[in-house]
């Protein structure tokens, strides 16, 4: 499923299958490592979640954007995290989300920052996307470094230097920069994952903590997922939430499954460095996921479950 997700991301960039948002909130002049207080959580949704649940109903998200975006709003989402690879996509689709009163508080993007031949151009591309997105209300740029199994120490060093450069540039724009990961980054004792946390400047580089990839990449270990939360709670700017039971993604998000999300949130709250985050639902279907509900009902049930986690 990880490979399928990467193919989806690549196609989204190549085809421009993204939608944008209304400018509804401003960004503070002085940024912290956080976005929203957890007690007042707004639930956002990742484009992968939306596209995959509609796809299994035979509905193409891009071709049916008005219907799908209307249902996202009806379900109760505050906005959507989109895959945007080029700056021209921002202006082209901004009107679509504005029509439905949905926010684009964060953007998901991938970039090759470990290869000397292309890294400078990649940094410029990400910054160009951010500059276009900021007037649309975007506050967080979530970046997954281009995947390569077994990056060398030299490649990791170069990547981390570039993450600092990119993070500093985004900070000047008043935006947060959060690093995302999948299974590849957690291979080989999670050397890439730990390096982009320990070898980057916390003033510029934050973490998009994806609980389920921490779980799945470690051999379906909730202990490992909790350990990542304990280690890097103070760096977390965004949460990606997904649940499974017996290793298979559930149809709706629930707080108790293979991962105990009450425990996860409790761990984060205990950290002196963590008191707020941007919350994004990333539940999605895979082989073995039940198919009993329509997308809008999946979204409604999942939002309620997510909100329960943050009730003190």
CB 245 within 8 A of CB 283: no
Closest CA to 140 of 309, 279, 281: 279
Q: How far is the first Cα of the chain from the last one, in angstroms, to the nearest whole number?
A: 35
Q: What pLDDT shows up at residue 273?
A: 75
User: What is the set of domains in the chain, with CATH numbers?
Assistant: 2-309 (3.20.20.150)
Tens digit of pLDDT for each residue in 200-255?
999 999 999 999 999 999 999 999 999 999 999 999 999 999 999 999 999 999 99
CB-based contacts of 235, cutoff 8 Å, min separation 6: 33, 197, 202, 205, 206, 207, 273
The DSSP 8-state label assigned to residue 42 in this structure reads: P
State yes or no: pLDDT of 33 exceeds 90.
no
Report the alpha-carbon distance of residue 279 to residue 187 in Å, rounded.
Answer: 26
**Residues paired with residue 207 on neighbouring β-strands, in sequence order:** 179, 236
Please report which confidence band the pLDDT of residue 19 belongs to, taking 50, 70 and 90 as the band edges.
very low
Q: What pLDDT shows up at residue 104?
A: 94
Residue with tokens 């990961």: 181
DSSP string, 103-156: B--EEEEEE--S-TTTHHHHHHHHHHHHHHHGGGT--EEEEEEPP-TT--HHHH
Report the alpha-carbon distance of residue 69 to residue 136 in Å, rounded.
Answer: 17
Closest CA to 285 of 60, 55, 3: 55
- Token couple for 194: 């730990």
Closest CA to 8 of 98, 82, 99, 119: 82
CB-based contacts of 115, cutoff 8 Å, min separation 6: 155, 158
Tens digit of pLDDT for each residue in 250-295?
999 999 999 999 999 999 999 877 767 899 999 999 999 999 999 9
Task: Give percent of the chain with pLDDT exceeding 70.
Answer: 87
Please report which confidence band the pLDDT of residue 6 belongs to, taking 50, 70 and 90 as the band edges.
low
Q: What pLDDT shows up at residue 312?
A: 67
Mean per-residue pLDDT of the chain: 89
Cβ-in-10-Å burial (0-12, 13-18, 19+) of 248 comes to: middle
Closest CA to 27 of 144, 125, 106: 106
Tens digit of pLDDT for each residue in 153-198?
999 999 999 999 999 999 999 999 999 999 999 999 999 999 999 9
Q: What pLDDT shows up at residue 230?
A: 96
Q: What pLDDT shows up at residue 15?
A: 37
**DSSP strands (E only) in 165-289:** 176-179, 206-210, 236-241, 244-245, 248-249, 278-281
Residue 83 belongs to what H/E stretch? Answer: strand 79-83
pTM of the model: 0.88
């Amino acid at each position: 499923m990880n490979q399928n997700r990467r193919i989806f991301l690549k196609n989204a960039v190549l085809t421009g299958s993204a939608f944008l948002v209304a400018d509804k909130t401003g960004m503070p002049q002085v940024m912290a490592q956080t976005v929203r207080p957890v007690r007042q959580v707004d639930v956002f949704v990742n484009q992968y979640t939306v596209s995959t649940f509609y796809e299994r109903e035979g509905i193409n998200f891009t071709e049916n954007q008005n219907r799908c975006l209307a249902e996202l709003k009806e379900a109760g989402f505050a906005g959507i995290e989109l895959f945007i690879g080029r700056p021209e996509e921002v202006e082209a689709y901004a009107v679509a989300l504005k029509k439905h009163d949905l926010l684009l508080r964060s953007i998901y993007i991938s970039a090759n920052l470990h290869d000397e031949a292309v890294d400078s151009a990649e940094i410029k591309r990400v910054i160009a996307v951010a500059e276009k997105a900021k007037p649309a209300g975007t506050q967080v740029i979530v970046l997954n470094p281009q995947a390569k199994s077994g990056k060398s120490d030299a490649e990791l060093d170069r990547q981390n230097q570039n993450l600092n450069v990119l993070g500093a540039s985004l900070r000047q724009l008043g935006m947060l920069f959060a690093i995302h990961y999948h299974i590849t980054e957690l291979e080989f004792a999670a050397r890439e994952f730990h390096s982009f946390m320990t070898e980057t400047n916390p003033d510029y580089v934050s973490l998009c903590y994806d609980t389920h990839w921490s779980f799945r990449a470690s051999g379906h270990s909730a202990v490992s997922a909790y350990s990542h939360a304990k280690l890097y709670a103070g760096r977390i700017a965004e949460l990606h939430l997904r649940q499974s039971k017996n290793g298979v993604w559930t149809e709706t998000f629930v707080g108790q499954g293979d991962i105990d999300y009450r425990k996860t949130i409790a761990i984060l709250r205990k950290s002196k460095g963590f008191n707020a985050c941007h919350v994004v639902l990333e539940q999605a279907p895979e082989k073995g996921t039940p198919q009993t509900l329509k997308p809008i009902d999946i979204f409604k049930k999942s939002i309620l479950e997510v909100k329960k986690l943050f009730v003190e």
